[in-house]
Chains A and B, each alone.
Chain A
Amino acid sequence: MKWFDYAAPASLAEALQLRAAHPQALLLAGGTDLLVQMKNGRRQPDVVIDIKKVPELNALSIDAAGALTLGAAVACHRVYQDAAVRKHWPALAETAEIIGGIQIQGRASIGGNLCNAAPSADSVPLLIAMGGTCRIAGPAGERPLAVEDFCIAPGRNALAAGEMLVSLHIPAPAAHSGVHYLRFIPRNEMDIAVVGVGAQVVLNNGNFQSARIALASVAPTPLFVRAAGDGLAGKPVNEESIQAAAEAAAAAATPITDMRGTAEYRRHLCGVLTLRALEAAIRQAKGSH
């Protein structure tokens, strides 16, 4: 790796000062993407700011309204070993368990998965489906941003100069709601999604009250297919409505052909996985109170 300076600020204010003073600096959380990119020369920061000592970035807490705050540097193992996360956001725990292997999960964070802005990021469709928001801090103060607006191009996110992701906020699960993330990989584990689908449903007396669907690996960014979910609102929960949503999601995808799969195959998978993710979310919603 090229020479860089290392700093490990102990407060958010100090981290923001460093960020402002070094526009070419990069932030280090788990490093499982960043160090790979620095080793292969794709990224060459003059300063690496290790943000793992900043308390706000290590938070994992639930507020009085039942919403989850997930610090941007919280490693995957903390997410899936947390009893409250497993109980209230099981899909988040399950997704944290399939990002990389055990060694990667000991370091990699969900916030880092988002900031890396890969189209294939497993956690991002799920965060979008759950209606997650980002807390972003910068020189001009703080601003919230919906997760679906965070990734703007492959490897590029919406953070402006001097800004950083502090935490992610996931609303409390609604009554009669369910969430699921499903991906297709040719192996059993440790692979990059050929297609991934996150789906959330809220049910009301046998009908969909609302639904949110997002896709991985079928567009330049993780893709929120808002219309596919909105189309379910008010519809009865049955094969026909679910099939229509799956077709709408597949139609909204703009996949490319690469070594992991052809565009045609990916579009087909979008439909199949959307259907299955919706079915799993519905099962969960029917079991919840």
Chain B
Amino acid sequence: MPGKIHVNTTINGEATEFLCEPRQTLLECLRDTLNLTGTKEGCGDGNCGSCTVVMDGRIVTSCLVLGVEAAGARIDTIEGMARGNQLHPLQQSFLEHAALQCGICTPGFLLAARELLENEPDPSEERIRWFLANNLCRCTGYDKIVRAVQDAAKQMREAKA
């Protein structure tokens, strides 16, 4: 039986190394090895988006990525979204709009919404709903989530102007 594999990666901008079995998902490595428990496990098969992280600049479901695939990659998780005590405008907006109930889906929604707004500063409601379709909220708070993203987008545009 082979041993663990040594993985060198970058997580939230910091060079990071960890040991993992080939069969461990990136989600397991983040949560159980690196104690980055902000990334949540929902369905475990790519449908719900709770485990969304950013890998080399693109959102992926970390339950369907092997930990060993992180070697040489840049991984961004929810832990890297705020700057110290300064919340990202999306995080602030989610709070103000009460766009969360149980909170399990929230880290995934925030990272997916950030990817959308970084590429498309002024998306339509339809576009927001399409882009966030791989993130499920079983407390059924979608409307508040969409409003929070729209409001954050507006604030981010104004801050840039």
Task: Give A contacts to B, CB under 8 Å.
Answer: 1-6, 8, 28, 30-32, 35-36, 39-40, 48, 50, 77, 100-104, 106-107, 188-190
Does B22 contact A104, Cβ atoms closer than 8 Å? no
Does B45 contact A107, Cβ atoms closer than 8 Å? no
Q: Of all chain B residues, which has the CB nearest A77?
A: B58
Does B133 contact A101, Cβ atoms closer than 8 Å? yes
B-chain residues with CB within 8 Å of residue A6 when the two chains form the complex: 5, 22, 66, 68
Q: What distance in Å separates the Cβ of A39 from its nearest Cβ neighbour in chain B? A: 7
Residue from B2, B60, B112 in contact with A107 in the complex, judged by beta carbons closer than 8 Å? B60
Given contacts A30-B64, A107-B64, 12 further A-B contacts (CB under 8 A): A3-B22, A4-B23, A5-B2, A31-B64, A35-B64, A36-B45, A39-B45, A100-B134, A102-B59, A102-B115, A103-B46, A106-B55
Q: How large is the interface on B (under 10, 10 to 19, 20 to 34, 35 or more residues)?
A: 20 to 34
B-chain residues with CB within 8 Å of residue A50 when the two chains form the complex: 66, 68-69
Does A35 contact B25, Cβ atoms closer than 8 Å? yes
Q: What separation, in Å, do the CA atoms of A188 and B129 have in the docked complex?
A: 10
Does B66 contact A31, Cβ atoms closer than 8 Å? yes
Does B134 contact A190, Cβ atoms closer than 8 Å? yes
Q: What separation, in Å, do the CA atoms of A50 and B21 have in the docked complex?
A: 15
Q: What separation, in Å, do the CA atoms of A100 and B52 have in the docked complex?
A: 14
Q: What separation, in Å, do the CA atoms of A1 and B134 have in the docked complex?
A: 23
Tell me which residues from 42 to 95 in chain B have a Cβ below 8 Å from any Cβ of chain A.
44-47, 49, 52, 55, 58-61, 63-66, 68-69
B-chain residues with CB within 8 Å of residue A4 when the two chains form the complex: 22-23
A-chain residues with CB within 8 Å of residue B61 when the two chains form the complex: 32, 103-104, 107
Q: What separation, in Å, do the CA atoms of A189 and B112 have in the docked complex?
A: 16
Q: What distance in Å separates the Cβ of B1 from its nearest Cβ neighbour in chain A? A: 6
Does A104 contact B23, Cβ atoms closer than 8 Å? no
Q: What distance in Å separates the Cβ of A34 from its nearest Cβ neighbour in chain B? A: 9
A5-B2, A32-B46 as given contacts; A102 in contact with B131, CB under 8 Å: yes
Q: What separation, in Å, do the CA atoms of A225 and B119 have in the docked complex?
A: 41
Q: What separation, in Å, do the CA atoms of A32 and B63 have in the docked complex?
A: 9
A-chain residues with CB within 8 Å of residue B45 when the two chains form the complex: 36, 39-40
Does A48 contact B22, Cβ atoms closer than 8 Å? yes
Does B46 contact A36, Cβ atoms closer than 8 Å? yes
Q: What separation, in Å, do the CA atoms of A107 and B61 have in the docked complex?
A: 9
Task: Give B contacts to A, CB under 8 Å.
Answer: 1-2, 5, 21-23, 25, 44-47, 49, 52, 55, 58-61, 63-66, 68-69, 112, 115, 129-131, 133-135
Q: Of all chain A residues, which has the CB nearest B49?
A: A103
A6-B66, A35-B66 as given contacts; A106 in contact with B44, CB under 8 Å: no
Q: Of all chain B residues, which has the CB nearest A75?
A: B58
Q: What separation, in Å, do the CA atoms of A30 and B21 have in the docked complex?
A: 19
Q: What distance in Å separates the Cβ of A169 from its nearest Cβ neighbour in chain B? A: 26
Q: What separation, in Å, do the CA atoms of A6 and B68 have in the docked complex?
A: 8
A31-B65, A35-B25 as given contacts; A100 in contact with B58, CB under 8 Å: no
Q: Of all chain B residues, which has the CB nearest A190?
A: B133
Q: What distance in Å separates the Cβ of A114 from its nearest Cβ neighbour in chain B? A: 18
Q: What separation, in Å, do the CA atoms of A253 and B65 have in the docked complex?
A: 36
Q: What distance in Å separates the Cβ of B129 from its nearest Cβ neighbour in chain A? A: 8
Q: Of all chain A residues, which has the CB nearest B134?
A: A101
Does A106 contact B1, Cβ atoms closer than 8 Å? no
Q: What distance in Å separates the Cβ of B47 from its nearest Cβ neighbour in chain A? A: 8
A102-B59, A103-B52, A103-B61 as given contacts; A3 in contact with B23, CB under 8 Å: yes
Q: What separation, in Å, do the CA atoms of A19 and B65 have in the docked complex?
A: 21
B-chain residues with CB within 8 Å of residue A5 when the two chains form the complex: 2, 22
B-chain residues with CB within 8 Å of residue A40 when the two chains form the complex: 45
Q: What separation, in Å, do the CA atoms of A30 and B115 have in the docked complex?
A: 20
By Cβ-Cβ distance, the 9 closest A-B pairs, closest first, are A101-B134, A6-B22, A106-B58, A1-B23, A189-B133, A103-B134, A36-B45, A103-B61, A35-B64
Q: Of all chain B residues, which has the CB nearest A7?
A: B22
Q: What distance in Å separates the Cβ of A208 from its nearest Cβ neighbour in chain B? A: 34
Q: What separation, in Å, do the CA atoms of A145 and B75 have in the docked complex?
A: 38
Q: Of all chain B residues, which has the CB nearest A48?
A: B22
